[in-house]
Structure 1
Amino acid sequence: MEIAERAQALALKIRKHKAGIETEEATKNAFVMPFIGTVLGYDVFNPGEVIPEFTADVGTKKGEKIDYAIVHDGQVQVLIEVKKINDPLRIEHASQLFRYFAVTNARIAILTNGEVYEFYTDLDAPNRMDSKPFLVLNFSDIDDTLLPELAKLAKDSFNLESVISAAGELKYIGQLKRVLVGQFKQPEDDWVRFLTTRVYDGSFTQRVRDQFAPLVDKAMRQFLNEQVNDRLKNALGGPDAFVSVSADATEPVADASPPVVSLDSGSGDVQTTGEELDGYRVVRAIVCGEVPAARIVARDTKTYFGVLLDDNNRKPIARLWFNRAKKYLGVFDENKVETRIPINSIEDIYAHADHLRRTVLRYLGKELAGAETPAEANAVPL
């Protein structure tokens, strides 16, 4: 199993169980140990690989402990400090990491609440942990572009030098992306001023600010949608292909001409592949006998390619899990619980045509006469 699949399995576990986790200790057991053991591949019960409650006395500070130290080649390489799930991470939480970082051989420090992992090193000053992370991995919305970097810390592919050499670029790219995401969500005054003064010759007064703030917001959303539209039009087969992209992924797409593809909100890194679009066309071909093709909408995300009825998240028809070595078709039962079925090719989707049609008919309040649920012997229930 590749690291992307292992990470997605942990993300699913976190989504299912985090509401019932109330303590730091429970966070460690439920989420952090699986991260170390399952995702990174270390034996959490082997003190030669993972040291819990790691102690390295610092000056007058005696007996302080770091939650975990990961050992590779006989040396402590990674320090991990854990906080309770749902607690926001702040640099104040990392005081022990700062102290331990200076007196061990570790070059990587991780601050986590079991869902968000902040990775630190010593880019600014040797043997002194930076105040800002070079990488932030959020299991509620995994950025697949970061997984190759995470793999460099895994037991079977450990490459510390490569991590350190890439850390500087990762640090600033990550920060810049987070700034841009913030500006696209809610432009700040400085951002509004910067753009307004490029197109407006008068003084930037409060009245002008009030006039241009909504224009800047609208222009940025339209620009992003146009960029996505251009990319998807190319993927769908040229400039004549129709693509509609919602500025807000929770809003229905107004024009219902097929095919319709919508990208997840804020997911500028999403890349729709030709294979995903082929799978979408197969699903649409299967179910368009039950509903007009225009109502069958695709929404691509970083982790899967979804097919929805009426662009409604509450009406999922199928999910195409193609961003991995092994492909899966996600289908839904009457309770909207997803089951992933391994497939070898796009054509294998046709074997589950009855299930897909039945899903659509349930949303329409109908039943597929005479059809029984096919046995999914190879299904992987979630």
Structure 2
Amino acid sequence: MEMNIQLKSLADKINQLKSKIETEESTKHAFVLPFIHVLGYDAFNPLEVVPEFTADLGLKKGEKVDYAIFQNGEPIIIVECKSWKEKLTVHNSQLFRYFHVTKTRFALLTNGIHYQFFTDLDDQNKMDEKPFLEFDICNLKENTINEIAKFHKANFDVDNIVSNASSLKYIKEIKKLISSELESPSNDFTKLFAGKIYTGRLTEKVVDEFKDLVQKSVSQFINDKINDRLNAALTKETIKQQDEETITVEDDNKIITTEEELDGYRIVVAILRRKLPVSRIVYRDTQSYFGILLDDNNRKPLCRLHLNGGKKYLSLFNNNKTESKVSIASIDDIYQYENELLETVSLYETELNPV
């Protein structure tokens, strides 16, 4: 089973059970050990997973960390667990004390839902105060799953993870900074933009006025980008559906082209021949509708007639090639949509001859 499926299954289990989990010990067994299992380690094999791991800490004897994951006889990850109801805080954590007396390069602090992975990027053999990888197992993104996969038994490579940890750490901090600036732009962030477009002196009053403008501009820019992606996806899906319709094998015995459909086609031709040669206006009858196309190309629908049901409809296409149906009492009503049909032709002309 792929790791993303296993993690999704564990997240579903956590959401179902957490209201019934009351203690730290229950959190370990219900949430943390299954996560260790997802990483490919056998929690019941004392050569791989050692519970209540003990190391000598100077004068302090017998202090324990919840788990140590071993590989080739050496601990590679030490794990400290909290109850799922507790917030994670690394202060006073036994992970700090254990880190420098073991050969491990990685420490994990978790409450079974939130996970924080630490290493020693700042000072060698001394655990960093900030995690380089942090996530909520119930709200995972694909790039985070890729990072978790590096800790899998089959993939584990200390040098690879440590070399990537620095990038993860700084990316996480930069994303936090961006989020903070978008919510409430700082003076420096505001001046970065205002200084390039404002010709006067950047007084405190001007900077304060620009803060609101910068925040609105960035928000609108992000929204525009999202809308562009959504529209592109919708257009792609429309083309895909049209392609599927093109390759659909129709049962010719079930397709009956009626005289009314042909009359409707002639009306459309009469409207569009002012912009197009008649030879370019082609109909294609299907079981569900009577389609009229430009150049017999299913990606260039001009309109569709739905005349065989209880009600009659005309399908028109906007500049995103999105279909919209309008009710018509008879085929003569097609004349009422002359402008819309001619605009559809203009759309394809624009595609062929962009400005």
Match of 2:16 in 1: 16
Please state whether the residue corresponding to 1:110 is helix, strand or coil. strand
User: Which residue identity is paired with 2:5?
Assistant: E
Q: Which residue does 1:161 correspond to in 2?
A: 159
Matched, 1:178 2:176: yes
* Counterpart in the other structure of 1:3: 3
Q: What code does the residue aligned with 1:82 have? A: C
Distance across 1 between alignment mates of 2:92 and 2:199: 47
CA distance in 1, matches of 2:105, 2:125: 8
Q: Which moved more, 1:130-139 or 1:224-233?
A: 224-233
**CA shift in 2, pair 1:185/1:76, >3 Å:** same
Aligned 8 A contact 1:152 1:160 in 2: no
Aligned-residue RMSD, C-alpha: 2.8
Summarize the Cα distance change of 1:131–1:229 in structure 2 as closer, same or farther, 3 Å threshold.
same
Which structure's residues are more often helix, by fraction? 2
Structure 2 Cα separation of the partners of residues 153 and 74 of structure 1: 17
Unaligned runs of 5+ in 2: 246-355
Return the offset for 1:193. 4.8
Compared CA separation, residues 171 and 202, structure 1 to 2 (3 A): same
Structure 1 portions without partners, runs of 5+: 242-258, 260-273, 283-382
How far does residue 234 in structure 1 lie from its aligned partner after superposition?
Answer: 3.7
Task: Report the counterpart of residue 129 of structure 1 in structure 2.
Answer: 127
CA separation of 1:191 and 1:12: change in aligned 2, threshold 3 A: farther
Corresponding residue for residue 301 of structure 2: none
Deviations, residues 244-292 of structure 1 (Å, cap 9, x unaligned): xxxxxxxxxxxxxxx8xxxxxxxxxxxxxx9xx97xx99xxxxxxxxxx
The CA deviation at 1:61 is 2.1
For residues 85 and 189 of structure 1, what CA distance do their matches in structure 2 show? 39
**Counterparts of 1:25-174 in structure 2 under 5 Å?**
25-37=25-37, 39-94=38-93, 96-174=94-172
8 Å CA contact retained: 1:137, 1:143: no
Letter in 1 for 2:88: L
Matched residue pairs, number?
243
Residues 186-265 of structure 1 aligned to structure 2 (within 5 Å)? 186-188=184-186, 190-202=188-200, 207-208=205-206, 210-237=208-235
Q: By how many angstroms is 1:2 displaced?
A: 0.8
Amino acid at match of 1:173: I
1:293 maps to what in 2? none
Amino acid at match of 1:84: S
Cross-structure match for 1:295? none
Alpha-carbon offset, residue 203 of structure 1: 5.4
Residue 341 (structure 1) aligns with: none
CA contact (8 A) 1:120 1:129 kept: yes
Q: Return the alpha-carbon distance in structure 1 between the equivalents of residues 90 and 160 of structure 2.
A: 25
Report how far residue 188 of structure 1 moved.
4.7
**Comparing 28-37 and 172-181, the one that deviates more:** 172-181
Q: Distance in 1 between matches of 2:54 and 2:224?
A: 54
Cα separation, 1, equivalents of 2:194 and 2:224: 21
After TM superposition, give the deviation of residue 116 of structure 1 in Å: 1.2
* CA 219–99 in structure 1, closer or farther in 2 if over 3 Å, else same: same
Query: Could you say what secondary structure the match of 2:79 adopts?
Result: strand
Report the alpha carbon displacement of residue 80 of structure 1 after superposing the two structures with TM. Answer: 0.8
Name the amino acid aligned to 1:137.
Answer: F
Name the counterpart of 1:354: none
Of 45-54 and 177-186, the range deviating more from structure 2: 177-186
TM-score, with structure 2 as normaliser: 0.61
Structure 2 residue identity aligned to 1:5: I
CA–CA separation in structure 2 for the residues paired with 1:93 and 1:231: 46
Aligned residues with identical type, % of pairs: 45
Looking at structure 2, the residues matched to 19 and 203 of structure 1 have their Cα atoms a distance apart, in angstroms, of 58
Q: 1:283-298 to 2 correspondence within 5 Å?
A: none
Measured against aligned partners, the alpha-carbon deviations of 1:311-360 in whole angstroms (never above 9, x if no partner) come to: xxxxxxxxxxxxxxxxxxxxxxxxxxxxxxxxxxxxxxxxxxxxxxxxxx
* SS at 2:100 equivalent: helix
Match of 1:339 in 2: none
Distance 1:204 1:145, change over 3 A: same
Q: Which amino acid aligns with 2:91?
A: E
Tell me: CA distance 1:54–1:203, structure 2 relative to 1, closer, same or farther (3 Å): farther
Distance 1:83 1:200 in 2: 53
CA distance in 2, matches of 1:69, 1:40: 13
Corresponding residue SS for 2:220: helix
Secondary structure of 2:42's match? coil
One-letter identity of the residue aligned with 2:159: E
Q: Any idea what the Cα deviations from partners look like across 1:115-149, whole Å, max 9, x if unmatched?
A: 11111111122211112111112213212102222
